[in-house]
Amino acid sequence: MRSNSFRIAVMPGEGVGIEVMGAALAVLDAVEARFGVGCARDTVMGGAHYYRETGSILPPDGMDRARRADAILFGAMGWPDIRYPDGTEIAPQLDMRFELELFAGVRPIRAIPGVPPVLADPRAGKIDLVIVRESTEGMFASRGKGEIIDDTEASDTQVITRATTEKLAHFSFELARRRKRERGTPGVVTLVDKANVFRSFAFMRKVFYEVAARNPDVEAGHHYVDAMALDLVRRPWDFDVLPMENLFGDILSDLGAGLIGGMGFAPSADIGLEHGLFQPSHGTAPDIAGKGLANPTGMILSAAMMLDWLGERHGSDSARLAARAIERSVDKAFGDGLVRSCDIGGKDGTEAIGRAVADAIRNGEADSD
Ligand code: ATP
């Protein structure tokens, strides 16, 4: 069904999650005014503070409301000193990945014009890769199930299944194909693993190449995770689409965010066959929360990913155009020096950046050529 109006579950969470969500919603208002793409919002609270007050991490109908929405826009949840009785972190976003089977954690690492490059090499301005973090199994399958055998030993077990690896590989090949068509990227999928040491990774690689054989138009390769950590610092501009196991993706996507200016610039999408959740890569950032200083760019770009995904799913060219316009407006705001966020030494806070991007959209400054 073609549609330009969507129902989204808005889950701001806590800490800077609430602040950056405000900026993203201002941008969505501008999108509605300029492109006629409307997002009716159902706000669902939740997180660690909510848990402290109510004993639950989400309202009783919270998961259902998220499930019923066309997409979920998520800020950040979790707080260092509010924990479950066993000492583990409150992380509803992890629960949602498992519950809604959001197997593909898509984390674009793209250099934004005007943001000072972290690497000295002039090619740093060309960084444009995507980490696809498997998000429902791997090492995280052991979450809450690990064993402390006695005071001398503990263990967690990694799980890799054929079904999820096939889905992850298919998703990655399709993503590389689409990026090549739309952005002129090289169309190369590189599996990141540790197949030289662990059987589970050897299995993952075997399944990956079975799927690669069915996608001969896209180049397939592999890289060991330790070498990838090195090469993401040495030559990140050489990579395109990087599927990997959950914990590897957790770690390398923070490294990737570091390459493009910090956590505030990194968007993400958690995609399943039925649902999509969109949130910045960062957490609640208690160290800067409540000051209005958080950089909302990752959150705003996550909203763009949401519109792009909705546009693809529902055949809405307007939603896809709006997504592109958000990305261009971000590039323009930073590239033309209209804003400089606090995390890169500037003075512009959350609201000012949201307003600059929203204004560029409203004025049509970033419409497609
Ligand atoms: P989580 O485990 O929940 O992902 P984390 O412990 O990795 O969270 P973050 O909350 O992401 O931590 O914060 C990591 C660092 O990045 C902190 O120094 C924080 O201030 C900074 N940071 C995070 N988000 C932003 C943002 N939007 N703007 C500026 N700095 C940020």
CA of 294, closest atom in ligand 1: 28
What average pLDDT does the segment 272-280 reach?
97
Closest residue CA from atom 5 of ligand 1: 283
Is the pLDDT confidence value at 270 over 70? yes
Name the token pair of 52: 């402290």
Mutate to test the pocket of ligand 1, among 95, 282, 288, 347 (most ligand atoms within 8 A of CB): 282
Instruction: Please tell me if the CB atom of residue 294 comes closer than 6 angstroms to any atom of ligand 1.
Output: yes
Instruction: Please tell me if the CB atom of residue 107 comes closer than 6 angstroms to any atom of ligand 1.
Output: no
How far apart are alpha carbons 256 and 249 in whole angstroms?
10
- pLDDT for position 369: 54
Mutate to test the pocket of ligand 1, among 263, 293, 334, 353 (most ligand atoms within 8 A of CB): 263
Instruction: Please tell me if the CB atom of residue 24 comes closer than 6 angstroms to any atom of ligand 1.
Output: no
Instruction: Please tell me if the CB atom of residue 23 comes closer than 6 angstroms to any atom of ligand 1.
Output: no
144: confidence class by pLDDT, cuts 50, 70, 90: confident
* Helix pair angle (16-35, 317-335), 10° resolution: 120
Closest residue CA from atom 19 of ligand 1: 285
Instruction: Please tell me if the CB atom of residue 308 comes closer than 6 angstroms to any atom of ligand 1.
Output: no
Instruction: Please tell me if the CB atom of residue 299 comes closer than 6 angstroms to any atom of ligand 1.
Output: no
The tens digit of pLDDT for each residue in 59-79 reads: 999 999 999 999 999 999 999
Instruction: Please tell me if the CB atom of residue 350 comes closer than 6 angstroms to any atom of ligand 1.
Output: no
Instruction: Please tell me if the CB atom of residue 288 comes closer than 6 angstroms to any atom of ligand 1.
Output: yes
CA of 342, closest atom in ligand 1: 29
Is the pLDDT confidence value at 336 over 80? yes
The mean pLDDT of the chain is: 96
The tens digit of pLDDT for each residue in 90-116 reads: 999 989 999 999 999 999 999 999 999
How far apart are alpha carbons 83 and 86 in whole angstroms?
8
86: confidence class by pLDDT, cuts 50, 70, 90: confident
Is the pLDDT confidence value at 273 over 80? yes
- pLDDT for position 269: 98
Q: What Cα–Cα distance (Å) separates residue 148 from each residue in 80, 117, 154, 156, 260? A: 23, 43, 4, 9, 39
CA of 296, closest atom in ligand 1: 27
- CB atoms under 10 Å from CB of 354, counted, come to 28
Instruction: Please tell me if the CB atom of residue 284 comes closer than 6 angstroms to any atom of ligand 1.
Output: yes
Instruction: Please tell me if the CB atom of residue 283 comes closer than 6 angstroms to any atom of ligand 1.
Output: yes
Closest residue CA from atom 13 of ligand 1: 285
368: confidence class by pLDDT, cuts 50, 70, 90: low
- CB hemisphere CA count around 23 (13 angstroms): 32
- CB hemisphere CA count around 29 (13 angstroms): 11
CA of 286, closest atom in ligand 1: 10
Is the pLDDT confidence value at 40 over 70? yes
Is the pLDDT confidence value at 241 over 80? yes
Closest residue CA from atom 8 of ligand 1: 283
CA of 80, closest atom in ligand 1: 6
332: confidence class by pLDDT, cuts 50, 70, 90: very high
Give 196 Cα–ligand 1 centroid separation in angstroms: 33
Q: What is the pTM of this model?
A: 0.95
- pLDDT for position 161: 98
What average pLDDT does the segment 46-50 reach?
97
Q: Are 225 and 193 contacting, i.e. CB atoms less than 8 angstroms apart?
A: yes
Residues 6+ apart with CB under 8 A from 17: 47, 74, 75, 76, 77, 284
What average pLDDT does the segment 129-157 reach?
93
Instruction: Please tell me if the CB atom of residue 285 comes closer than 6 angstroms to any atom of ligand 1.
Output: yes
- pLDDT for position 143: 87
Q: What Cα–Cα distance (Å) separates residue 30 from each residue in 43, 115, 298, 360? A: 19, 24, 17, 9
Pairing of strands 188-193, 241-244: parallel
> Could you tell me where the beta strands, DSSP code E, fall in 140-288?
147-150, 153-155, 188-193, 219-224, 241-244, 267-271, 276-280
Give 279 Cα–ligand 1 centroid separation in angstroms: 13
What average pLDDT does the segment 266-293 reach?
97
What structural domains does the chain harbor?
1-101+278-369 (3.40.718.10), 117-260 (3.40.718.10)
